[in-house]
Amino acid sequence: MSKQSGASPDQRFDEPVDEPIGRAAPSAADGSGPDGQPRPTGPTVDDIPGEQRYVAMLYGRLDDLRTQATRRLRGALHNAGGTQQERSQRDGTVRMYAEQIDRLGAVEQGLCFGRLDLDDGTRRYVGRIGIFDSVGEYEPVLLDWRAPAARPFYLATAAAPDGVRRRRHIRTRDREVVGLDDEVLDLNSAGQAGDRGGLTGEAALLAAVTASRTGRMTDIVRTIQAEQDRVIRADLDGVLVVQGGPGTGKTAVALHRAAYLLYTHRQILSTRGVLLVGPNATFLRYISQVLPTLAETGVLLRTVGELFPGITATRAEPAEVAELKGRLDMVEVLAAAIRDRQRVPDEPIEITIERDSLVLDPATVAAARDRVRRTDRPHNLARPLFDVEIVHALADQLAERLGADPLGGENLLDEADLAEFRRELRGEPEVQAVLDWLWPILTPQQVVAGLFASEQRLDVAAASLGEAERAALRREPWGGWSPADVPLLDEAAELLGEDDRAAQARAARQRRAEIEYAEGVLEIAAGSKSIDFEDEADAEDGMLDVTDLLVADRLAERQADGEQLSTAERAAADRSWAFGHVIVDEAQELSPMAWRVLMRRCPSRSMTLVGDVAQTGALAGASSWWPVLEPYVGDRWRLEELTVSYRTPSEILAVAAKVLAEIDPALTPPRAVRDTGEQPWDAQVGTGELAGRLVEAIRAEAAGVGAGRVGVIVPAGLVDELGRAATEAEPEVALGDDPELTSRVVLLTVAQAKGLEFDSVLVVDPDRIVAESPRGRSDLYVALTRATQRLGILRTG
């Protein structure tokens, strides 16, 4: 094995050690070490042509598969008409081939990245997808990285080679092989394995972690490390918590786990779906390319604020208000707010029907309300019971009056007369209006907005909160929803119950109309196309023509409206969808109310929660996992820890470690996988000169990172001022609610920077970052750990 620096074989990662685990810099493409010295073992350049031939063959097979899928898609598109069931099947087939074409396109870069030479002389190539030989026995020519047979690529070490003699990393650019890195797993190198903290594929790993950032996260499929592999391939069932410091690959692992689970449990998960929850829309965009490059397109990526269909939660609000809304107390507040809408009049209500005047007195209404409440039905679903109670009371009153025996005998009306009275009363608009007033059918939006808009309602429903807290919740009903409102809407929806019969009937009518329209279009398209389709040359070219597009377009539209939606699309549109697996990233940030939403979306409790309780910034977030999970799963959850930081070099982690010790001296920072030899810089500037010095620093860092990215992390209170100064001087600086991360320089707050990384990071006014929030130290810890190469700190005062 190649030469390594450092730590003793029995050194534990959780011991604070300055030494990085790996070497200082990646090896060169020719296999030489960081110092230019030849490595003890390694491929020769002569190996490249051989690998090139193999890789070219794989790309040839990939092209064949694409052509085949395109041809089948065309066939399905032209297969118009038939019974409704046949058309529905055809829509499914179209979707399947369209997705297949997408997937085959997405694995183009780095299709094959590894080779295992086994003791028995056989070789296995490992890549993004599995490919079989097109002739003979259909032997696998490329193993999907998720297949059990590919696992030694990530786990085999010299000490435990698992039948592997040599592991080769193959680097390609477009379809060309540009480099090879070999590790020979023999007993001579076994003694050295522990020295490197068990890293596998060290040269490829270091090349990956030191590469310039692009503003979009990339996959780590070539260089997954053993502790990460264990998490990725963990069992589907139960709750798995993955705790790890900044840069330990939690997000990467979460995404690769989603791909692994879909591959391994495709049948369950393709129908129930996988939900991945992230902290904000910018972050979701940052990670959005990873799953497609792993050939998976069916995972629904959402923030908690996006989990209520039809609601866009963009309203900003103070962190303290968000914290308040995130408390479990809000469950009772909402329940009380709904009870408050179940009215009992102060005075008797007079209802005039034709010439008869009926009176509904408060005691009758109160008794009816109490009986209905005792059924424990959700408010909206209980309304029919309330109607029955009131209509019965009114009908009895009417019967008493109209059927009274003038001679004082028994009432002259029978049960059939009473039933007739009830039917008529139910149809009376005046009765309906009274019922609507006493027990209104409510939407979650009406409950939540109505509560916050009324001091009186808040006083009744939120009596358990302090006066200042109630005042903090008060707001006008306009201005939209905040992310912290979404769990409240969801809770209100649960308490109200959904009476969706009318909506379902409407949807069915609409779907029938759309299907009829689509049938017409398909028939016209098929008629005009019958001759072209016979044309093999046209079918061969793999391009879809205008008629195809017309049909596809119509199909897609119909799919968007009807039942042919993909699992992810259907799940996105359905508030009560139960996912097969839920993955939460930055899980420490979620409030107790948000956890209730996620637990409802995952009744099977098959979940992966990744996060770091030392990085919690949200005031309603978690400082330990136990209280979060205990109410839902007791102690039935597993904990895995990630201990190596791949992002941040040791010099920067040493600065961050001091802040971590202030958060909690018992916490240990992750071990850095490398050092850069470059110390972070720290400058003190006068308050008045901060903007000017920041602009200078931005220019210097942007020049220093070459093709890379610079992140400027500023206190929330300085965003406007410093943002203005930065963009006036450097128009390419991106900022705002959802900044474009592919810009060379991005200026953002800590909350926005969560989960992101940049080649160089400037942290502005760390004291103010700390002072801005009760969790300010955790915020500073997050800010200091965003850099992959360089860190600069600008202090004021």
Ligand X SMILES: Nc1ncnc2c1ncn2[C@@H]1O[C@H](COP(=O)(O)OP(=O)(O)OP(=O)(O)O)[C@@H](O)[C@H]1O
Contacts with ligand X, residue ranges (CB under 6 A): 205, 208-209, 220, 223-225, 228, 244, 246-252, 612, 615, 646-647, 755, 757, 785
Smallest separation (angstroms) from ligand X to the CB of 597: 22
Smallest separation (angstroms) from ligand X to the CB of 183: 15
Distance CA 157, CA 154 (A): 9
Which residue lies nearer to ligand X by CB, 219 or 389? 219
Do residues 466 and 308 make contact, with C-beta atoms less than 8 angstroms apart?
Answer: no
Smallest separation (angstroms) from ligand X to the CB of 632: 23
Smallest separation (angstroms) from ligand X to the CB of 658: 17
Residue 658 known to bind ligand: no
Which residue lies nearer to ligand X by CB, 601 or 647? 647
Task: Please name the helix (run of DSSP H) or strand (run of DSSP E) that holds residue 552, with its range, or none.
Answer: helix 546-561
Smallest separation (angstroms) from ligand X to the CB of 545: 41
Smallest separation (angstroms) from ligand X to the CB of 627: 21
Residue 245 known to bind ligand: yes
| CA distance readout (Å), 46 to 50, 126, 207, 456 | 8, 21, 22, 82
Residue 75 CA to chain centroid, in angstroms?
A: 35
Smallest separation (angstroms) from ligand X to the CB of 777: 16
Which residue lies nearer to ligand X by CB, 220 or 425? 220
Which residue lies nearer to ligand X by CB, 91 or 227? 227
Cβ-closest residue to ligand X? 249
Residue 238: phi, psi to the nearest 5? 80, 180
> Beta strands 644-645 and 112-118: pairing type?
unpaired
Residue 27 burial (C-beta neighbours within 10 Å; 0-12, 13-18, 19+): buried
Distance CA 145, CA 295 (A): 11
Which residue lies nearer to ligand X by CB, 379 or 709? 709
Residue 246 known to bind ligand: yes
Which residue lies nearer to ligand X by CB, 550 or 672? 672
Q: For residue 644, what are its two tokens? A: 């190596």
Q: For residue 749, what are its two tokens? A: 């707050």
Nearest to 426 by CA among 394, 467, 381: 394
Do residues 609 and 241 make contact, with C-beta atoms less than 8 angstroms apart?
Answer: yes
Block residue for tokens 């990384």 = 757
Neighbouring-strand partners of residue 179: 171
Residue 374 DSSP one-character state = T
Which residue lies nearer to ligand X by CB, 637 or 758? 758
Which residue lies nearer to ligand X by CB, 246 or 766? 246
Smallest separation (angstroms) from ligand X to the CB of 154: 9
Nearest to 485 by CA among 363, 375, 647, 597: 597
Do residues 243 and 612 make contact, with C-beta atoms less than 8 angstroms apart?
Answer: yes
Q: For residue 403, what are its two tokens? A: 């059927």
Task: Please name the helix (run of DSSP H) or strand (run of DSSP E) that holds residue 445, with its range, or none.
Answer: helix 444-453
Smallest separation (angstroms) from ligand X to the CB of 309: 28
Which residue lies nearer to ligand X by CB, 202 or 772? 202
Do residues 729 and 742 make contact, with C-beta atoms less than 8 angstroms apart?
Answer: no
Distance CA 627, CA 611 (A): 15
Residue 244 known to bind ligand: yes
Nearest to 485 by CA among 312, 339, 278: 312
Residue 352 DSSP one-character state = E
Distance CA 742, CA 643 (A): 29
Q: For residue 228, what are its two tokens? A: 């990460």
Distance CA 9, CA 634 (A): 38
Residue 556 burial (C-beta neighbours within 10 Å; 0-12, 13-18, 19+): middle
Smallest separation (angstroms) from ligand X to the CB of 610: 7
Do residues 640 and 240 make contact, with C-beta atoms less than 8 angstroms apart?
Answer: yes
What is the chain's length? 797
Neighbouring-strand partners of residue 168: 115, 182
Which residue lies nearer to ligand X by CB, 74 or 647? 647
Smallest separation (angstroms) from ligand X to the CB of 716: 19
Residue 707 burial (C-beta neighbours within 10 Å; 0-12, 13-18, 19+): exposed
Which residue lies nearer to ligand X by CB, 127 or 562? 127
Which residue lies nearer to ligand X by CB, 90 or 674? 674
Do residues 581 and 474 make contact, with C-beta atoms less than 8 angstroms apart?
Answer: no
Beta strands per DSSP E along 535-606: 581-584
Smallest separation (angstroms) from ligand X to the CB of 40: 23
Smallest separation (angstroms) from ligand X to the CB of 36: 23
Which residue lies nearer to ligand X by CB, 154 or 452? 154
Residue 564: phi, psi to the nearest 5? -90, 15
Residue 249 known to bind ligand: yes
Residue 248: phi, psi to the nearest 5? -85, 0
Residue 686 known to bind ligand: no
Block residue for tokens 């308040």 = 324
Binding site per annotation, positions: 244-251
Binding site per annotation, positions for ATP: 244-251
